[in-house]
Structure 1
C-alpha cells in the first residue's frame, strides 16, 4: 500500500510497516499456485478489502472466509473513514538503464485484446457502499500509460459483471 501516491512513501507486501498478518493458513510474500497457463487452465483468486468501523481497521480477506490480516486506519492519510477512489490493475517498474523500455511483462505478458485464456483479468468488480453492501463500482475509467507496451480493455457482462483484461510484453517493436 502507499499512503501518498508514492511521493515519499511506497512499498509492497510486508515491506510496509503496519500490516498485521493474522492468518495461520495463508502466507504473504510467497508465489501463488496453481498458476494459469496460456490458453489452458485458468485459476482465480477472490480478494476483498473492507473497512471495519468498529475496530477502525482495513481488512484483507481471501475468498469468503479466510481473513489474511489488516491495516490500522491510522496508517493512512486519506482512508480514515472511507475510500474516495479505488484502483485495480497491474504495475511494473521501468528501471531499464539503456534508454529502452524494460522487458518486464505485466500480467500474462499478453495484450488485453487476447482476453480469456490470453490476457490477465479482474472480473466481478465490486465495492462496499455506505450500508456495507457489495455493489458494482459504477463508471470505470481505464488508463494505460504506455499502450504499446501494456494495455487494458474493460467491459460488463452478465457472467463476469464489471471486468477488465490487461497486460503486455513490455519492450517490443512498438514499445522500444
Structure 2
C-alpha cells in the first residue's frame, strides 16, 4: 500500500491472503461506524471529520486519486465506482472525478443529530 508520492505504507505478503492469490473481485474504500443503538438512539460517533460529504474540501473527509494494481502490476485509475451510505441522515458520501484528483469521494457525518435520532 502506498501514500502520496511513492511513500510506502505497508506490504502484505500473498501468503496471508490465499483466497486472493490470483486476483480480487472487489476493492472497497470508506468508513464504518458500529452502532449498537444504546438507549434506542443512534451513536454520536462521527465518521471521518464529522462533516457531511456536501461540506466538501477543508471540512469533509475524502479519498482521492483512487488506483488499483492491475494484473500487469501497474496502477490504473479506479473507474465508475459505486457508492453506498446506509443512513444518509447520519453519514453520507459523494463521488466525483476531475483531472487533478482523479476518481475521488467525500464522506462522513456527525452521527447522532436532529435528523438522525
* Superposition TM-score, scaled by structure 1 size: 0.61
Alignment of 1:37-52 (within 5 A): 49=1
Partner of 2:58: 117
Alignment of 1:81-92 (within 5 A): 81-92=22-33
2:18 is aligned with 1:74: no
2:34 is aligned with 1:93: yes
After the TM superposition, list the runs of 4 or more consecutive aligned residues in structure 1 that deviate by more than 2 angstroms. 61-78
2:95 is aligned with 1:154: yes
Uncovered stretches (5+) of structure 1, i.e. residues with no partner? 1-48, 50-60
Partner of 2:76: 135
Match of 1:164 among 101, 105, 114: 105
CA distance in 2 between counterparts of 1:66 and 1:156 reads 23
Q: How far is the alpha carbon of 1:95 from its aligned partner?
A: 2.8
Q: How far is the alpha carbon of 1:75 from its aligned partner?
A: 2.7
Cα distance change of structure 1 residues 62 and 157 upon mapping to structure 2, 3 Å threshold? closer
Q: Name the SS of the counterpart of 2:54 in structure 1.
A: helix
How many positions carry a matched residue from both structures? 117
Q: How far is the alpha carbon of 1:94 from its aligned partner?
A: 1.3
Partner of 1:175: 116
Q: Which structure carries more relative contact order (alpha carbon 8 Å, separation 6+)?
A: 2
Uncovered stretches (5+) of structure 2, i.e. residues with no partner? none
Higher mean displacement: 112-121 or 67-76: 67-76
Q: How far is the alpha carbon of 1:99 from its aligned partner?
A: 1.1
Q: Name the SS of the counterpart of 2:27 in structure 1.
A: coil
Q: C-alpha root-mean-square deviation of aligned residues, in Å? A: 1.7
Q: How far is the alpha carbon of 1:63 from its aligned partner?
A: 4.0
Cα distance change of structure 1 residues 154 and 66 upon mapping to structure 2, 3 Å threshold? closer
